[in-house]
């Protein structure tokens, strides 16, 4: 299982990051991502960068290649739970070589 909490907003290349999250999760494994969507007074917090806020539609697009079990926004965050297919054979080595 891969869990990421309040990290996505600090990633400059979020498409590559999403692919890497999928690649390092075992086939059949779960992925849980929690990321702020920017309402309720959330302010910039650079460590060292603060790049994104994401809503459920954007999260679904990022993880469109895997089965999304739930994706919703609460008062502050977008939360997604997904499962990597057992037949998914991609590896982190393949993701590293991709240029986005």
Sign of torsion over alpha carbons 68, 34, 13, 97: negative
pLDDT digits (tens, 9 = 90+) for 34-93: 999 877 566 777 778 989 899 999 999 999 999 999 999 998 899 999 999 999 888 887
Q: Reduced to 3 states, what is the DSSP secondary structure of residue 2?
A: strand
Give the start-to-end residue ranges of the domains of the chain.
Answer: 2-96
Q: What CATH number does the domain located at 2-96 have?
A: 3.40.50.150
Q: How many whole angstroms separate alpha carbon 73 and alpha carbon 71?
A: 7
Q: Which residue has the tokens 């539609």?
A: 57
pTM to 2 decimal places: 0.85
Q: Give pLDDT, residue 41.
A: 62
With 90 as the cut, is the pLDDT of residue 99 above it?
no
């Amino acid at each position: 299982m891969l869990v990421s909490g309040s990290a996505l907003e600090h990633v400059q290349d979020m498409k590559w990051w999403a692919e890497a999250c999928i690649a390092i999760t075992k086939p059949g494994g779960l992925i849980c991502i929690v990321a702020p969507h920017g309402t309720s007074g959330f302010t910039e917090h650079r460590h060292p960068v603060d790049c994104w806020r994401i809503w459920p539609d954007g999260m679904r697009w990022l993880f469109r290649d895997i089965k999304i079990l739930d994706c919703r926004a609460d008062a502050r965050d977008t939360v997604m739970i997904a499962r990597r297919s057992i037949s998914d054979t991609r590896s982190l080595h393949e993701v590293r070589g991709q240029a986005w």
